[in-house]
Amino acid sequence: MGRMRVRPSGPLGGRVRVGGAKNSALKLMAATVLAPGTSTLWNVPAISDVEWMADVLRALGVEVTPEGGGKLTVNAGGDITPEAPYELVERMRASTALIGPLLARCGEAHVAMPGGDDFGSRPIDLHLSGLEVLGATFELAHGTIHGRAERLVGGRVVLEYPSVGATETVMLAATLAEGVTAIENAAREPEIADLGAFLNRMGAKVTGAGSPTVRVEGVAELRPASHEVIPDRIEAATFIAAVGIAGGEVVVEGARHEHMAQLVRKFGEMGMRISPERDGLWVMARDRLQPISVATLPYPGVATDYLPLVMPLLAVADGTSFATENLFGGRFRYLGELARMGARIEVEGHHVVVEGVEWLSGAPVRAFDIRAGAGMVVAGLRAEGETFVHDSEHLDRGYEDFVGRLVSIGADVESLDD
């Protein structure tokens, strides 16, 4: 179990680089299964979720080799066993991204049904009903989803909700289906556009990835390809939030304004100044932050993953803020931890009212998931005394060398695990 100590910090200064997007890298790794041979991914973050996805792929018979410097080679040239066991899936929900590629390549997929997590129950019904349109059938037995498809045939998939995972699952399977698949009400996240770009390099015919309608014309086979993962917008948001709460002037290298425009606008409303640079975002915060209203929405709205990072800023803003979480009903557990640090928070269903205080108060707190943990670290930067973030290993799932990079811009943060 990891533990981090955070002390009041700021003003922060200098330059910090964001790594490759976790939620893109994991799906690109899943996509490599579609093509026999060796694919190469660049800018892959050295985080535990990537290691775990590598373990899942190895269990299927795929060779995965981290080459250092963000390079990852994946050889899916051998025989593939279309079975992802519970021990691996349970560690990482994103293993469900393998259902589509396994069905397309092997005609079957046996993947343990992921359970609930700190976000509440997270169903995959939209993934499965999308694949059913393409001709797959599913059966749940003994906690495992058994999917079969002698052949996949393109069709019109209308998603009830623009789910990121369901959009990706259908895209992945449709690449090798006969005929054309149209995914309507598709999720539009930049990670989906990145997946579409990689699939096209592999020889797929995908258009509209990143828009509400994705069209996939099936091809007979795909070939291995090489691709560079887009920068992680949530990680960029984490460093921007750190500057917001601690003050200072930092260049967040690699951050792409066009991937996080709504959030940048919200930070601007709070009084921060943010402008695009050639390779990143220049960020400055000088005065006490102003309160705002913010609601999470599917892309291009403010992402649900940003809220645990923004909440500490609301907690110290000069007035009353309102926040609404529209995606995951159970994603508020971390608010109790923030309250232990002196934040004045009232929760009503999926709405939160935050009465800003001038300073938080350092306390032992728990990281319930990656972003909640990062939010606790951000909060600790403006908390009198010391904040100890327990279970900080959650942060290693999504952030490479988080402590080192925060320290490099002047944050007083230390990892205490030995």
Q: Which of residues 368-387 bind ligand EPU (CB under 6 A)?
A: 370-371
β-strand partners of 111: 84, 145
Site map (CB under 6 A) of ligand EPU, residues 307-336, x = contact: --------------------xx--------
Q: Does residue 145 touch ligand EPU according to CB under 6 A?
A: no
**Residue 225 token pair:** 């390809």
What six digits make up the tokens of 278? Answer: 């050639």
State yes or no: residue 288 binds ligand EPU (CB under 6 A): no
Binding mask 52-71 toward ligand EPU (x if CB under 6 A, else -) reads --------------------
Told to check if 304 binds ligand EPU by CB under 6 A, we report: yes
Q: How far apart are CA 130 and CA 261, in angstroms?
A: 30
Active site residue 117: yes
* Cβ partners under 8 Å of residue 264, min gap 6: 240, 257, 274, 281
| Contact between 170 and ligand EPU per CB under 6 A | no
The radius of gyration of the chain from alpha carbons, rounded to an integer in Å, stands at 21
Q: Which of 49, 55, 79, 117 is catalytic?
A: 117
Q: Is 43 in the site for ligand EPU (CB under 6 A)?
A: no
Q: Measured from the CB of residue 305, what is the shortest distance to ligand EPU in angstroms? A: 5
115 near ligand EPU (CB under 6 A): no
Quickly count: other Cβ atoms within 10 Å of residue 195's Cβ: 29
Which 198-237 residues touch ligand EPU, going by CB under 6 A? none
Distance of closest approach, residue 228 Cβ to ligand EPU, in angstroms: 18
* Binding status of residue 169 toward ligand EPU by CB under 6 A: no
Based on the shown chain and the rule CB under 6 A, indicate whether residue 173 belongs to the binding site for ligand EPU: no
String of DSSP letters for 320-384: EEEEE--S-TTTTHHHHHHHHTT-EEEEETTEEEEE--S-EE--EEE--SHHHHHHHHHHHTTEE
Site for ligand EPU (CB under 6 A): which residue of 84, 124, 197, 316?
124
The DSSP 8-state label assigned to residue 289 in this structure reads: P
Residue span binding ligand EPU (CB under 6 A) among the ranges 9-17, 21-29, 251-259, 385-393: 21-29
Q: Name beta bridge partners: 274.
A: 283
What is the rounded distance in angstroms from the CA atom of residue 163 to the CA atom of residue 165? 6
User: Rounded CA gap, 181 and 201, in Å?
Assistant: 19
Residues belonging to the active site: 117
Question: Which residues lie near ligand EPU (CB under 6 A)?
Answer: 22-23, 26, 94, 122-127, 161, 163-166, 187, 303-305, 327-328, 370-371, 398
